[in-house]
Structures are given as structure tokens and as C-alpha cells.
Amino acid sequence: MTTYKILNVIERCIDCGGCFAICKDQNKVPEGTARVRVVTVNEGRLGEKNVAISCMHCDNPPCVAACPVKGITKREDGIVINDKDKCIGCGYCGWACPFGAPKYPHDLPAKLKEYEGIMDKCTFCVQPFEQGVERDQKPRCALFCATKGRLGGDIAQITPLYNAMKAGNVERLQGRV
Amino acid sequence: MNMEIKETLETRRNFYAFLYRMYSEEPPRELADDLVNERFYFPDLTSLGEEFSEGFRVLKEFMEKCKGKAVDELHEDLIDEYTRLFIGPHRLPVQPYESWWVDGKLMGESLLKVKKVYRKAGIVKSRDYPEPEDHIAFELKFMHYLCEEGLSADNEERIAECINMQKEFLAEHLLRWVPDFCDGLHECELSDFYKGIAKLTKGFLLLEDAVLGELSEFVL
Amino acid sequence: MATKTNSIFGGSDIKLSRRTFTKLTALGTAATISGINSVSAYPEVSQLIADVSAAPAPGVKLVKTICSHCAVGCGVLGRVEDGVLTGLEPWTDHPVCAGGMCSKGTSIAEMVNSENRLKYPMKKVGGTWKQILWNEALDEIANKVKEIKANYGPDSVMWIGSAKVTNEECYLFRKFAAFNGTNNVDHQARICHSTTVAGMAKTWSYGAMTNSWNDMRHSKLIFFCGENAAESHPVSMQHILEAKNRGAKFIVADPRFTKSAALADQYVRFRPGTDIPLILGICHEIIKNDWHNKDFIEKRTYGFEQFKEVVDKYPPEVVADITWVPADTIRQLAYEWAHNDPACICWAMGATQHTVGTNNIRSFACLEALMGYVGKSGGGCNAFRGHDNVQGATDMCVLSHWLPAYYGLTEGSWKHWIGVWNEHAPITFEEMKAKFDEYDGKSLMHVKGLTVSRWYEGVLDASVKQPNPVKMVFVWGHSLNSISEMKRMKQALEGVEMIVGVDPHATIASSLADRDDGIIILPASTVFEKDGSVTNSARQVQWRNKLVEPWEDSKPDMWIMKELADRLGFGAHFTYDSPEDVLREINRGACVIMMRESPERLKRQQENCADFSIEDCQAKGGPCKGEYWGLPWPCWNDEHPGTPILYRNDIPISEGGNEFRPRFRAAGSTDGNPISDDGVSMLGAAYGYPEGYDQMNCDGTPGAGWKFELDCDWKEMIAQNKCPSGAGRARFRAWDLPDPVPIHREPIESPRPDLVDEYPTYDDVEDHFRVKCLYKTIQDERKNLVNEYPLILTTGRQVEHMGGGAETRSCHYLVELQPEMYAEINPAVAADIGVKHWDYVWVETKRGRCKVRAYVTERVNDKEVFMPYHWAGWFEGVSYADRYPSGCGELALGDSCNIITVDGYDRSTNMQETKACLCRVKKA
């Protein structure tokens, strides 16, 4: 049973913006909003770290529970998607999400005006911004990650990669000069 | 062929010829000459729609301004206007491409769609023409082409086919963006002569919208 | 033309009727009387429509190509549908990037389809931009070139070339300058890694990255000195972080706490311009503790004793005072260097852009030689080059002091290339020589030309060492805001008779100068609109496939050159059937680097890319078995697998082994016996030949024949495990340099007047690439400048932008990430001057000032200011937005830091010193 997930090896994130840009390009995400964004903590000093924040397609998504119109669903394959036609833009999912993934874009171009204020988030590349044909689950952010630190795919396959990448780093951090 | 259909196609063809030519290349000296020597007459009309008559009105105003100007001077001005509106060297102020208005960027899906339409109609862009096929000039030229095809058709089915293609193209492509483009072009502070052309283009296409529906029923 | 008629449609009260024909009659009449009916009589130039049989079949294709931004050379698939680039797909089995790309790479599709690209040739006339046809433009340009040559001489045309075109076009551009009778041809490498090339070449003969991106996975210590790969070479971090995962130490030495430093095990902050004492301090401790590799030094190097003498003057306590680095840290770094075998050193502009740039790199090379890490997997001198094809453009020598493939300007070198060119179309040495002018009794054919870093002096300084100043400049694929002294350059642009800009964008070549006439800009196609090869920093040559037809009316550079060449009278020399043919000509003549990567082999590698291992870039099976990805040069013949690690001599040549070239031979040297200026043999221990051997001719006898013999495939010599370029010694002491052993010299503008006394800069140079270059005079003048300008200004990269920024500042995604120009200032400095984050500030130097946002961060300490250099469109706080018709500017404009960087230049190569000068910051 495939379960799709996204995992970040934050020790590998260099804040290159690749995930941000390719997601926007592939999913036609309009200017002013993003489905994945790199957040930097401790900028400019020891302990500086970067995390690419997006929807994590949680096992037990708080957003699904919070949505009053049952507009968000977790599919069998693990991907959490939302139906823009059901969404009323109430913002509850935004409150519920620990990652701040749901966005409610305003200032959209004319042809997307109907989606103003409607929740948008990462759909594992299954649905572009304009709800169109469903596509393959190939998260571009992970495929294009410069350092291969952002993993996206079947959890059975990416967990060993994640562990391998973290293992070395744990030693490194302990012996850090 | 029915005489009325023929006249219709001819008229529309001529209008498209004028319009696409205004966008496909810089205005020729002949146009400047015609303007200076007032060889155009733009009557006040209401029956062809507000935008259309506004277009005529604006063009008439422009022609008044041209009184007494040297032909070559006006020609240079027209060329400069065309250049800054449609050539460059910088980003164009109002993008004359369908993809821009419908997809939010150049070379978008709309371009692919119109290419399919053209291919189905049996034509492609000539290698010499540098712009992509969703440029306003090309889309108007396509309508012009279909008028010509209709005129040279030797059977009713072909005429109907051409008119139906035009109806579809107008609804699915031209009308989705050209009216907004024309508004933008009219409002743009860099346009002058093209303010009138913009209004006229929009007016004409709105008229086409009113006309083509009935026309296609007529030829069925 | 229709005439006014009175036959208005029957009356004034036509209402909208359901009868279509009434409307249409009205329309028809309107068309007739308005005159619109007859407009089809207007002449038309372009044919819009063609028959469908002329077109290629539709459908979606994934086409392999290489990113056009940096020199990592990431592969990517262009998704092409019906002739339109609709997006990108990852090339997941690309040996170097495994599908990864940074934000710039992922924006390629937007860049190719950008509304900011130049569509048509244009000319500025009377202050207005006019469209002109290609033929007109080319005619006018060619006529101007002829006129300038006739009135002033061929050296009055400056040819600024590009690192962003294909290898074939780079080669042709250098050839083009030659056929135009001048050596005034140069490109971005001058201001980027020219000191790398000089520094390394002077140490051990080739000036390129010795190892490769992937090879760093095997390092035990990766040492950055003036490198910020997280922003400038993002995908290289894939390999570096993998090495770290395997237990390697990653140490970043940089004036700023960069994004790379954030991922390092150790960060060392040092003062800009003090790389040499830092490195020599490390060497000092290594030697003191007897940690150096005596075996390697004895067998394969020269000049150690003299090196040690210099190093003795840089003990940690002395170094600490100069560099800000505590003495204990220097000792610890030395320990790391000695106990992590192998270690590699990586750098970019942080190390190269100084008056002592060449020496900086020399000191890196000496450190590697000291430990014997050079020539080993995981070791080496990893110069991280900048633009996608700057390595290729350097190899093709779009440079004013070389001919393609690092041949000098001697008669022998000219004859070599003329021999190759003559195979394509007739040309003799005498005919070529006749094209060149003379000056001071010498033919300028053999004299280094003007450089990109100071070409404007060629316009403004009447004492330039050529018959007349420069009167015409081609800015062919080069941005102008990456060059310092922008005010002088602006003046020069206003002083020339014609500027020709060739670029996919209308860059500041078209807008910087205040002038109404004399500018022609030609739209060039991007590399995605043509076939060709590209060489990344690791000397890997990759083939790019054309994705789509040229944008609008743009043309490939090769076509433009041919058209100009036709008009200038030597078109036959630039007429080739295909880019592949040009590469074959390069394969033939580029013997010094033995660039024999044929188009067929490159394409075959591309097809079979999955066979190549990410660990060492070697194909483990399949049709390319044994080959290294990109066939890194030297690639001796059609069977050779390439040389992934330079100077590695524990494997035979046939498997990629290599030796130091006995390139440097002082007076008294003979064939077979090269010696130094103090009589020491320059032959070094080689694979299979402990005594070494000199460079050879095709028959194996000692001589320089290997550089000139076109038809030798070297299989015989290689079968005997002999490297045709010889087996020599790396030099700790380069006797032919102003400083034979690197020593510290303070930057031109130094914050330490006391150190200026102790470590002064060079004496002024009368003729440095044809123009006068001041060093001591200005350093002395500005000795106490720190009293007025107390902060050190250094410049560098942002990951989202590239080069001059014309391409990237036209991309929405990239501009969203980095919308404005800024200067990084420390919170303490910000508090002092009363600014908050993102307030406007003036950053001022002796050259001028820039108005930018204040980016308050601890990345810089309270003595430093950092500015990215990718910005243009403002000049000293004044926006140039009004030079663009309203709403038509690039998406993001900003002040250019190179207006205010210092007028100092590397002593050997004329590289600009943009990494260290003095400034002050004020609230705006």
C-alpha cells in the first residue's frame, strides 16, 4: 500500500529556492503565494538552519478535522488534497495546521479571481493551482532538490534514504568543533 | 454562392485585412499619406455598437490632429508608436499575445491550443514570421484567411466549415482576451493612433460576436 | 485608395436588427467609405502563413540539455510540446546533479519565454529606439567596423565576448577577433577566474579545476576559502554534504557567515584580502610540525626551500594580527589539514578578485602540493567557476593574451592555428599578419590586448599602447555591471562612435550611456535555441540539444558572426555546416589541452548517461564503459576515457592518469632537460618512470611537438605509459612572477595603515595589458582612508541571481525571492547610524555611492559591509526606470555595487579587486 510523504533532511537544505521556483512553475502558482517556502532560522550565526515548509500530508491531518465543509480529504495513498469548490475560505485549516501550510491568496490575476481567499496548498503535484486534470504524484520539489535533501515519494522508499542521510550527520553534530 | 454571403465574407475579410495589418507590421507610409490627406471618412454610427463607433470617433480625432503635418513626419511618429507598443527593446506595455491574458505568461497553453486549431485548418506559421501564433496579428490573420477560404470555396459545406471555424475561434480564443487587450492598449499612455485602432478592433470583434452566431445558422 | 463618397447606407436611422445582413451591409458600407476596404493595398513585408506540410509533427518531447546558469553543469530535460518550451522535467540520471537544480535552473523555461527578451534588432536614433532589419543592422555594423579600421586601425574595435555561448561559438569568436586583426578580445573569465588560471598554471601548468564536483564525495576535508557554494554552486553542495555524511570535515573560511558556513563543521572569519597570510600561517604550522608530505615534495615539486623561507615569516601570531583569525585557530586548521587525508581546497571570487588574486591561488596550490593532496581523489584545487561555459570560453581563449586552447601569441602559436584554419578555408601567416597594426616597432599580433576589466581606459586614456584609442565596442553576451569603475565605463560608452550589444536581453549596454545615437542591439538566441557543447568547471564537456526555434527574430551567435564575416570579407572562414563541424575543428587544433571530445562521443555519453556512476563519473558498463563523463580534458584520442583528476599519476595515462607538465623552462634548458632559473631540473617522478621525462614529439623524442602535431593520436606513447606533455614538477617558486613565492600585500584600500607599511602593494605598472595601472601611488594616497571610510566593503552572490542579472531579474519567481538590492550591515553598525532593517541607506566609497536597502544581519561583523553585484537600473540612487517606456523595465532594478568598488587590479591578469575596499554607510 503506497503511502506518499514528504520528508526534509534539514541538514542538507541550502535555501537555494529550487523547490519554491519549480513548484510555482509546474503548478502555476500565482505571484504572491507559494506552496513551499524555505524558512531560515538563526540567520547569520551558528545554528543557522533552513527548512522547506509545505503541507506535510500528515497521517492525522488537523486540517481535515477542522474544515467545517469537509473540503479537505486524505486520500488512500496518503496525499491530502482540498476541493476549492467546497472551500469557504474560513481559515480554520490555517489555524489547525502546525506548519502554516494553507494559504489564502488574494490579488490573483483576472482569470483566477474566483479562487481569491480560497485555500491553496501543496497537493504533491497532483493538482495545479487551477483545478484541472489530475496528474501523477511526482513532487517536483523533491525531484529537483539541489542537494537531494527534500525527499518525496513512497514512505517505504524514502525512509531508508532519510535515515542514511541523517545518520552521518548525527555523529557530525556531536563532534562539532 | 449566395450573393449576400459573398458580400458578407468580402466585407469581413476587408476589415480583418485592415486590422491584422495594423498589428503585423509597422504602419506603412501609405497610411500616413491617407491620414494627412484625409482619405478616410469615419462616419458617426450607432448601429454597429458603442465600441465600434467610439473607434471611428477616436480615429477621426486623430486624423484631425494630422492636418497639416508632413507625411514623412507622421509616418515616423506612427513607426515610433508601433515600435514602443509592439517591438521593444524593452518589455511591451500591453502584451499582444493571448497566452499573456489567459495563462498569465507568454508561450502558455493558449498558444498550444491555437496551434492545434490552425493545424486542423491546414495551415501553420510561416518560417519568416517571427512572432508566436497567439499574437493578435496572427489570430486576426487566421480569421482573414478563413474569409478568403470561404470566398474561394466551391461548395456549401466548405463555406459552412469556414464560418463555423470562425465562430469557434472567436468564442474560444479572440473574445477571451482581445477586448481586455484593447482596453489596455486604449488606456496605455504610449498609444496614440493605436487608441482608435484598439477601440475599433474591440468593436469589430464584438460585432462579429453578434453576427457570427446567426451567420452560422444561416449557412447550415 | 477609396475616395469619399456620399453613398452612406441609405439613411441615418439604421437600428440593430435581427437581420444580420443589415448590420453587415452597414459594416460593408462603413468599410468602403472609411477607406478601410482598400487597405489590403498596403504593402506587407512578412508572410504570416504557410502550408501545414512545412511543419514538424506535434506532440510532447523531453529533450536533454544543460542549465545555462553556473558551471556545475546540471542536466535538465526541456519539455517541448509542438515547438514550445512548456516546462522542465528532472534529468534524474544525470551523473553530476541527479536531477537536482536550484531556483535559477528551475526558472529556465520562464527565462526562455520571457517577455523581457529582445525580439528584434534595434537602433537608437535621435533618442528613440527604432526597429531595423537584420540585413540593415549587419550592413551598418560591418561598415562601421571597416570605417574604424580604416581610420584608426583594427585595435580601435573592442570585442567583448561571452562565457554564455557554446564552445563552438567561443572558438569562432576568438577566431573572429583574429580575422579582424586585433587581440582586443576578452570575456567574463577576466573578472572571474583569470587569477585562478594564472595562479594554478604558474604552479603546475594547467589552470583548471583539478578534480571534479562528484570527486569531493571522497574528500576527508573540504576547505572553502572565499567560496559560498550554497549560493553560487548549489548543486555542488549535494556532493559536499554527502562527503560530510561520510565523515568528512567541512570548514568554511570567509569574511561572512554565509549560507555555506551555516552547513559547515567549522567557520573561520577572516579579513577580506588576507587569504595569503591565512594559508601561509597554516603552511607554517604544517612545516613546523613536520606534517608535510616530504616524499611528494621531493619527487614532484620544485622550490620548497625558498617557499619555506617565506612561510617562516608567517607564524600564527603574525597571521592573527593581519587576518582576525586567532593563532590557536590557525594551529588547529593546520592540524585538520595534516590529519584529514585527502583534503581539497575550494574557492571562487572571494579568492580571485584581488590585486593579489594570482598569488592567492598560488598559495592554495602550494598548500595542496605541501600535503601531496593534489593528484588524488578527494584532494585537489577545486576552482568553482562561474558561468555555465566560462571554462569553455577560457579553454577557447576568448582572451586578449591567448589563442584558443592556451596557445600564446608567439609566431609558433599563430602558425599552429593558421594551419588549422587553412584546412577550412585558405589563409596564410603573412595574410593574417597583414591584418594587424604595429606599435612601438612590434606587430600587435604578438602583443596582449585590452582586457574586459579595463577596456574603457582604452577609450578614455590617450596613452593607451596602441595606435589609437578604442572607438567602437561590441558587448557580445557580457553584462557591464559586473565590471568595476562603472562611472569610467559610462563615460567610455558615451565616447565611442558605436556600441553594438548582442544579447537575448537589452542589457545596460543599451541604457547605461547618456547618448541619443550610435547604439545597435541585436537579439541573440539563448543556448536552448541551438545545438552546441558546453564545458563545466570540472572540464566535463557536455552536449546541449536544441529545444526550440530561436525566439522571435533572434539568431544564434554563430549565424551573426558568419553574416558579419561575410560582409567583412572573410565569410568562408566562418561558414560551417553545423556546430559539430566546428567542434571537430577544435578537436583537431586544441592540442595543448588535448580537447578531443568528439561530438559523436559526447552524444553517445548523453544517451547512455545512466551507465555513469555518481561516485566517480565513470561508466561502469554499456557502450561508454570506462569513459569518464564529459571526457574531461586532456582527452588524448578517440579511445581515451578523459582525465577526471589532473596530475594523478598512480594510474596509467590510458586510464586517466596525468603528470605535471614540465612547462616552465628557464634559459639554459634544452629539449629533454628543462631547468629552473637556478639550474634545478624540472623533470619529476612519473608513473613508471621515476626520473620523469620531458614533453615530446609524436615519435617520442623530446620536444614541443605534442602541442603542434595535428595528426598524432598518441596511442603508441600512451601504450608505454608516457604522458605526451611530459612529467615535471609543480613549482613552489614561480621564478617568472613578480612574487615568485606568494607573499602578503595589503589591498589597495586597507583599513590598517601600519600593515600597508609592512606589506605594501606593487609598484605602479606602466603597461598592463596596454594601459597604465596604478598600485603604489593610490595605496599611498589612500593610506589613511580608513579614517573617513571605516568599513570594509566586499561583494558577492545571491543564489537567485546570476551575473549581471539581466536574465534573472526578468524572472518572476526569482524576483519574488529577491526583489530588491540591499547591503548587509551588522546590527551594531545599523544601530550606530540609526537604521532598521530594510530602511534605505547610502553606501559610499571614494568612487561614488549607492542607495540600497539595509539588510541588517549578523552575517557580516561590525567591520564589514556586503553587497550583491547582480543589480542594475539605478545609478547612484537615481532610477533609470524613465529610460524605459513606462511599465517596460526589468522586473527588478537596483543600484550597481560596481559603481563604487575599487580601482585595483591583479598584478598578473588585470582582475578587478572587487572583494576588498573601504566604505561608509549612512542613513538615506
Average pLDDT score, chain C: 93
Residue with cell 543600484: C895
- Strand ranges, E, within C742-863: 765-768, 771-773, 791-796, 822-825, 840-844, 849-856
Contact A109 B180 (CB under 8 A): no
CA pair distance C393, C167, nearest whole angstrom: 6
Does residue C44 sit at the B interface (CB-CB below 8 Å)?
yes
Is the pLDDT at C210 greater than 90? The verdict is yes
Is the pLDDT at C17 greater than 60? The verdict is no
Is the pLDDT at C347 greater than 60? The verdict is yes
Helices (H) and strands (E) in chain C, counts: 30, 33
Q: Which residues of chain B make contact with C84, given a CB cutoff of 8 A?
A: 107, 111-112, 115, 132
* CATH of region C753-923: 2.40.40.20
Q: What angle do CA C802, C190, C496 make, to 5 degrees?
A: 90
b/e map C663-701, b = 16+ CB within 10 Å:
bbbeeebeeeebbbeeeebbbbbbbebeebbbbbbbeee
Chain B touching partners, 3 or more CB pairs below 8 A: A, C
In a domain, A104, yes or no: yes
Q: Which residues of chain A make contact with B101, given a CB cutoff of 8 A?
A: 110-111
What pLDDT, on a 0 to 100 scale, did the predictor assign at position C310? 97
Is the pLDDT at B208 greater than 80? The verdict is yes
Does residue C82 sit at the B interface (CB-CB below 8 Å)?
yes
CA pair distance B17, C47, nearest whole angstrom: 13
What pLDDT, on a 0 to 100 scale, did the predictor assign at position C16? 30
Which of C41-45, C53-57, C495-499 bottoms out in mean pLDDT, i.e. has the lowest? C53-57
The C221-225 sheet, strands edge to edge: C266-268, C249-253, C221-225, C343-347, C380-383
Domain-by-domain residue ranges, chain B? 3-219
Contact A109 B104 (CB under 8 A): yes
What pLDDT, on a 0 to 100 scale, did the predictor assign at position C888? 64
Residue with cell 513606462: C886
φ, ψ of residue C221 to 5 degrees: the values are -145, 125
Select the residue of A14, A164, A165 nearest C237 (Cβ to Cβ): A14
C317: buried, middle or exposed (CB in 10 Å: 19+, 13-18, 0-12)? exposed
C-alpha dist (Å) from residue B47 to B55, B206, C25, C30: 13, 12, 11, 11
User: What type of residue sits at position C861?
Assistant: N
- DSSP-derived letter for residue C628 is B
Q: CB of C633 within 8 A of CB of C644?
A: no
- DSSP-derived letter for residue B174 is I
Percent of chain C at pLDDT exceeding 70: 94
Residue A101 sits in a domain whose CATH number is 3.30.70.20
Residue with cell 510555482: A24
Residue in C with minimal Cα distance to B127: C50
Select the residue of A31, A147, A164 nearest C241 (Cβ to Cβ): A147
Distance from CA of A21 to the nearest CA of C (A): 5
Q: Across the A/C interface, how many CB contacts are shorter than 8 Å?
A: 126
519-558 of C, contacting B, C-beta below 8 A: 521, 552-553
Q: Are strands C266-268 and C301-302 parallel, antiparallel or unpaired?
A: unpaired
C-alpha dist (Å) from residue C282 to C209, C261, C313, C367, C519: 22, 20, 12, 8, 52
Percent of chain C at pLDDT exceeding 90: 90
What pLDDT, on a 0 to 100 scale, did the predictor assign at position C12? 27
Which of B100-109, C25-34, C190-199 bottoms out in mean pLDDT, i.e. has the lowest? C25-34
Contact A144 C106 (CB under 8 A): yes
CA pair distance C798, C307, nearest whole angstrom: 37
In a domain, A65, yes or no: yes
DSSP H stretches of helix in C56-183: 108-112, 134-152, 167-179
The gap from C-alpha C206 to its chain's centroid, in whole angstroms, comes to 17
DSSP H/E element including C619: none
Q: Kindly report, residue by residue over C99-115, the tens digit of the pLDDT.
A: 999 999 998 999 999 99
* CATH of region C221-371: 3.40.228.10
List the domain range (segments joined by +) for residue A109. Answer: 4-171
Which of C51-60, C85-94, C170-179, C524-533 bottoms out in mean pLDDT, i.e. has the lowest? C51-60
In a domain, A176, yes or no: no
Residue in C with minimal Cα distance to B30: C42
Closest-CA residue to C517 (of C873, C140, C871, C135): C140
Is the pLDDT at C712 greater than 70? The verdict is yes
B180: buried, middle or exposed (CB in 10 Å: 19+, 13-18, 0-12)? middle
CA pair distance C273, C750, nearest whole angstrom: 9
**C-beta atoms surrounding C516 within 10 Å:** 11
**C-beta atoms surrounding C646 within 10 Å:** 27
Distance from CA of C923 to the nearest CA of B (A): 33
The gap from C-alpha C94 to its chain's centroid, in whole angstroms, comes to 23
Q: Kindly report, residue by residue over C149-195, the tens digit of the pLDDT.
A: 999 999 999 999 999 999 999 999 999 999 999 999 999 999 999 99
Percent of chain A at pLDDT exceeding 70: 94
Residue in C with minimal Cα distance to B86: C119
- DSSP-derived letter for residue C96 is T
Chosen for mutation from C239, C328, C813 (greatest number of chain A CBs closer than 10 Å) is: C813
All residues at 6 or more sequence positions from C494 whose CB lies less than 8 Å from its CB, including other chains: C513, C514, C515
What pLDDT, on a 0 to 100 scale, did the predictor assign at position C4? 30
CA pair distance C419, C94, nearest whole angstrom: 38
Residue with cell 570548514: C251
Q: What are the residues facing C794 on neighbouring strands?
A: C866
What pLDDT, on a 0 to 100 scale, did the predictor assign at position C886? 59
Domain count, chain A: 1
Helices (H) and strands (E) in chain A, counts: 5, 6
Contact A16 C103 (CB under 8 A): yes
What is residue C581's three-state secondary structure?
helix
ipTM comes to: 0.92
Contact B42 C34 (CB under 8 A): yes
Select the residue of C21, C35, C119 nearest B88 (Cβ to Cβ): C119
Averaged pLDDT for residues C739-751: 97
Averaged pLDDT for residues C760-778: 95
What is residue A170's three-state secondary structure?
helix
Half-sphere exposure of C227 (CA within 13 A, CB side): 27
All residues at 6 or more sequence positions from C708 whose CB lies less than 8 Å from its CB, including other chains: C412, C416, C591
| The CATH number fitting domain B3-219, selected from 3.40.50.620, 3.30.413.10, 3.40.190.10, 1.10.3480.10 | 1.10.3480.10
- Interaxial angle between packed helices C275-288 and C316-323, expressed in degrees from 0 to 180 and rounded to the nearest 10: 160
Residues C262, C267, C272, C273: is their CA dihedral positive or negative? negative
**In the structure, what pLDDT confidence band is assigned to residue C21 with cuts at 50, 70 and 90?**
low
Average pLDDT score, chain A: 90
Select the residue of C99, C799, C816 nearest A143 (Cβ to Cβ): C99
Closest-CA residue to B24 (of B112, B96, B78): B96
Which residues of chain C are in CATH 3.40.228.10 domains?
A: 221-371
Q: Kindly report, residue by residue over C849-866, the tens digit of the pLDDT.
A: 999 999 999 999 999 999
Averaged pLDDT for residues C12-29: 52
Contact B24 C84 (CB under 8 A): no
Q: Kindly report, residue by residue over C52-71, the tens digit of the pLDDT.
A: 765 666 789 999 999 999 99
Contact C247 A15 (CB under 8 A): no
Distance from CA of C483 to the nearest CA of B (A): 23
- Interaxial angle between packed helices B156-169 and B193-219, expressed in degrees from 0 to 180 and rounded to the nearest 10: 130
CA pair distance C498, C145, nearest whole angstrom: 9
Does residue C85 sit at the B interface (CB-CB below 8 Å)?
yes
Q: What angle do CA B66, B67, B68 make, to 5 degrees?
A: 110
**C-beta atoms surrounding C12 within 10 Å:** 11
Closest-CA residue to C75 (of C716, C639, C458, C540): C540
A171: buried, middle or exposed (CB in 10 Å: 19+, 13-18, 0-12)? exposed
Q: CB of B111 within 8 A of CB of C84?
A: yes
C-alpha dist (Å) from residue A121 to A23, A70, C496, C747: 11, 16, 54, 51
| The CATH number fitting domain C122-192+390-533+556-592, selected from 3.30.70.1350, 3.40.50.740, 2.30.30.100, 3.60.10.10 | 3.40.50.740
Contact C100 A12 (CB under 8 A): no
Which residues of chain C are in CATH 3.40.50.740 domains?
A: 122-192+390-533+556-592
All residues at 6 or more sequence positions from C2 whose CB lies less than 8 Å from its CB, including other chains: B39, C32, C33, C34, C35, C37, C38
Q: Which residues of chain B make contact with A109, given a CB cutoff of 8 A?
A: 104
In a domain, A177, yes or no: no
Q: Are strands A4-8 and A150-154 parallel, antiparallel or unpaired?
A: antiparallel
C54: buried, middle or exposed (CB in 10 Å: 19+, 13-18, 0-12)? exposed
